[in-house]
Chain A
Amino acid sequence: MSSALESAPSSPAAGRPPRPWLRLRRRPGRRPWFSGTVMAIFAFCGLFGSVVAPHDPDKVNLSQALKPPVFAGGTPTYLLGTDQLGRDVLSRLLTGAQVSFLVAAGAVLIGGAIGLLVALLAGYSGGRLDAVLTRVADASMAFPVVLLAIVIVAIYGKGVTVVIAVLVVAAWPQYARVLRSEVIRIRTQEFVTMSRVMGGGRFWAITRHVVPNTIPTLLVLATLQIGLAIIAEGSLSFLGIGVPPPAASWGNMLADGRNFLATAWWLPVVPGVALSLTVLAANLFGDWLRQALDPATRR
């Protein structure tokens, strides 16, 4: 203890730990150009997709049904072709990105927030509350998520909120479990103990030390969860319990297009490529983040 005291800073404020995300700036090496660009495009379409869409995505025009994309012999009016109701695929892809973005962002933010909160409660309080919360998280993980989705949709009907809610239920325990161990690890580290010893309050310690130090892990987890959320939205739509039509979502478009693989290949291929590319980018970005932020696995 004495040696720790000797090297300890004199005030809680000065006891601020090295901020791990600063490593990002320091670490040279390969930049995530590909994944970063794809993620940026995804975010842009997610925010402004319906603004840049060339047509009304829901405009039905049966006389223009099933027109191929421009690079497959179609007209420039419909760059990526039209679907079986004559709706513009590009416009639907762009507005669909908004739904996928909303679902991913909602699931990641809410799931992450709940997970972090539970992790702080469990990791900081310890004892009985910790045991209970950990069991609840375990139980939630044991719950068959797709079954839950079907039940919820059967009762409350379809909706973006329902999809997000289901994904949050599936995701929060994963955040909670990982972050809890992070919280325990961080709070037992010397600089946090020191800040308590120096008279800093518990709230101070949590907000100034513990939370900032969990952020790298949280970021990595969240990035990887983006991909999972997008795939999950697709799976739910495939089963017909995802985002309700006529709103476009990538999962909806993929599910609708699956019978057209032989006759109008662009209907399943365009949203499929967009979806896989985005998930791939999210995963690569997550990997890069993890390597950049965590020296233990950086090799």
Chain B
Amino acid sequence: MPNPRRIAATGRSSRFRYGKFTARVTAGALALSLVAACNGPAAPSAGGSAEVPASATNQTLTVGVATLQQQYADPVLANEGGNTYPIKWSVGEPLIRQELDMRQVPALATEWSVSTDDLTWDVKLREGVKMHDGSTFTAKDVQTSINRVKDPAFTSYAAYVKKIASVEIVNDYEIKIKTTVPYANLVFDTPAPVATDYYNRVGEAEFRKKPVAAGPWKFDSQVFNDSMTLTRFDDFWDKDRIANFSKLVLKIIPDESSRLSGIQTGQLDIAQGLTPNSAAQLQGSPTIKLVTSKQASVANVFFVDNWFEADSKLKDVNVRKALMLAIDRKAIADSLYRGFGTVTVNATLPVTLGNDTSLQAWPYDPNQAKQLLAAAGASNLSFTLHLYNQTTAIADVQKFAEAVIGYWKEIGVNVTMDAMDPATYLDKAVKHQLTGAVILGTPGLLISDPEKLSIFYTSTGGYSAVKNAELDGMFARLSSTVKRDDQAKIAGEISRKLHETLYGLPVVSLDAVYAIGPKVAAWNLMEGNPYPGPFWHLDAK
């Protein structure tokens, strides 16, 4: 597993072949540790095979993705949700990045520290890093990127910008960032640096079309709603993450059956976003393998009635418990998701900081569920279950909803299904115009940071399903805490609280399933990530 020191060491290595060799060694070790975690039921490993050539025969790999959302080429704009991350992670290189196991590790920053009042961050930057246009990376590039996102068009940085007081360049390789409030994730959240001279020369509009940053892949060209082409950046500072092939094509194919035919005909080398049932068709194929990112997201049912003062039976914790006990989650995981699902214990995942591993999963017990309902006077309960029809975080979300509704029907609960398009759904969810229950996927990538659970569980959160003073207090303490250990302790409290209150039912956690074709030698996936990429440890044959 590459630790920070190791990355720094390989970063200084000047000979490419040597770097490539160490890359294989570290990737091999990484793969060994991930093999157990990353394999689906019938999934042979794609990672860490010994046959990775230093330079591949196949110099182009094509990845079929369901969506890249708005297809931003610019790694800073590409921060609008997980479907844009493939670009963020490929073209951009941040100050701190997440390793494949979700640990935060140094990237363009080498060291950072915060002042005693928790408001001023001092960040030391890596020397000798090249940007895509050949210029040398300095503190100016960090400052340019921060100034850029002050434009409200960078909506995903609105919260970040609000907390920034000032940015001061100490020297070429040191920068001081002052915040208005304590901000534990400041360095991690800072946008990927961009090439300052190039940016000033071409201007904002042109930069968005042809960005220059410091990531392992250079943006080459794109056709909207068709594809995006990236080329390998040979001067990338971290030789571990340089691929052995030169061209990566991200091909957008919205229809799942077409991605499936693409991998079967060899038009695609990797197919993303396969439902377990499609993946099952490929099992037994001599040339196509399946790889999975285990427990990439949780499929949740949130009870949004808890947000209102309204007199709803769903505000009774025993009713929510009954609804949880009524669902045969094992059958959903095994039959509907064909083993690519796991019965979840809690709203937090193993990758979540402070996840309490001593908690027990709620069992499947329809009889007790009926008794609980009767005792709560809710025997003829009925409500609406809302969902939106495309979400990368829950495969086959509609069938999932139908299955859950089917189980509730067994205990006499009558639920209407309301499937909407994403815009309508998100708009109404954020404005709290929905009642009853909603289905939302929480990607491991998001909730590996327990603070992000506040989006769902605090009264001010965007998708909040609850107004609970106790939870509000816990999350407030969490966000003002900067030390990792203290954060873990509070996160543990939150995790236990969520388990007992069941404001949301974490029904099952789901693996992200990829099919890979014969031209791919190795690909190590990020744990807990339902979105395509990162393409750091992808190699061709």
Contact = CB atoms under 8 A, between A and B. Distances in A.
A–B direct touch in complex (beta carbons closer than 8 A): yes
A60 B280 contact: no
A148 B22 CA distance: 56
B478 interface: no
A245 B277 contact: no
A270 B392 CA distance: 29
B406 A65 contact: no
Interface in B397-442: 398-399, 402-403, 405-407, 409, 417-421, 423-424
Nearest to A61: B406
A63 B419 CA distance: 25
Interface in B251-303: 256-257, 260, 275, 277-278, 280-281
B278 A84 contact: no
Interface string A232-275: 00000000110011100000000010111111000000000000
A260 to B, nearest CB: 7
Interface stretch (B2-10, B87-95, B182-190, B331-339): B331-339
Contacts of A240: 389-390
A161 B281 CA distance: 37
B389 A84 contact: no
B493 interface: no
Main DSSP-derived SS at the B contact region? helix
B80 interface: no
A244 B420 CA distance: 9
Interface in B374-410: 389-390, 398-399, 402-403, 405-407, 409
Interface residues on A, range: 20 to 34
A259 B402 contact: no
Interface stretch (A41-49, A149-157, A181-189, A202-210): A149-157
A62 interface: yes
B419 A158 contact: yes
Nearest to A150: B421
A60 B402 contact: yes
B220 interface: no
A245 B398 contact: yes
B234 interface: no
A174 B493 CA distance: 66
Contacts of B280: 263
Contact of A246 (B275, B417, B423, B424): B417
Given A154-B424, A245-B417, A62 B389 contact: no
Nearest to B419: A244
Contact of A60 (B403, B420, B423, B424): B403
A245 B419 contact: yes
B257 to A, nearest CB: 5
B370 to A, nearest CB: 17
B328 interface: yes
Nearest to A263: B281
A262 B277 contact: no
Interface string A74-113: 0000000000110000000000000000000000000000
A259 B424 contact: no
A15 to B, nearest CB: 56
Interface residues of B, number: 30
Contacts of A259: 256-257, 260, 275, 277-278, 281
Nearest to A252: B398
A287 interface: no
Contacts of A60: 402-403, 405-407, 409
Contacts of B419: 158, 244-245
A157 B331 contact: no
A65 B406 CA distance: 13
Contact of A85 (B406, B420, B423): B406
A84 B399 contact: yes
Contacts of A130: none
A158 B418 CA distance: 8
Contacts of A128: none
A62 B403 CA distance: 8
A131 to B, nearest CB: 38
A262 B421 CA distance: 29
Interface in A27-84: 58-63, 65, 84
A62 B281 CA distance: 19
Contact of B277 (A61, A62, A157, A260): A260
A276 to B, nearest CB: 18
Contacts of A61: 406
A200 B308 CA distance: 67
A163 B360 CA distance: 46
Given A60-B407, A258-B257, A85 B424 contact: no
Nearest to B396: A84
A246 B387 CA distance: 12
Contact of A84 (B277, B328, B420, B423): B277
A261 B175 CA distance: 58
A262 B275 CA distance: 14
A154 B403 CA distance: 25
Contacts of B407: 60
A155 B424 CA distance: 7
A62 B419 CA distance: 21
A60 B275 CA distance: 19
Residue from A59, A62, A158 with most neighbouring chain B CB atoms (10 Å): A62
A85 B403 CA distance: 7
Nearest to B420: A157
Contacts of B423: 154
Contacts of A244: 417-419
A61 B406 CA distance: 8
A245 B418 contact: no
A289 B201 CA distance: 71
A163 B424 CA distance: 18
Interface string B311-343: 000000000000000001001100110000000
B392 to A, nearest CB: 15
25 contacts: A58-B402, A59-B406, A60-B402, A60-B406, A61-B406, A62-B328, A62-B332, A62-B335, A62-B336, A62-B403, A63-B331, A65-B336, A85-B402, A85-B406, A153-B421, A154-B423, A155-B424, A157-B424, A158-B419, A241-B421, A244-B419, A245-B417, A256-B399, A259-B275, A259-B281
Given A62-B335, A154-B421, 17 more contacts: A60-B405, A60-B406, A60-B409, A62-B331, A63-B335, A65-B335, A84-B277, A84-B399, A85-B336, A85-B402, A85-B403, A158-B420, A246-B405, A259-B256, A259-B257, A261-B257, A263-B281
- Nearest 10 CB-CB pairs, A to B? A60-B406, A62-B335, A62-B331, A246-B402, A262-B281, A259-B278, A258-B257, A154-B421, A259-B257, A263-B281
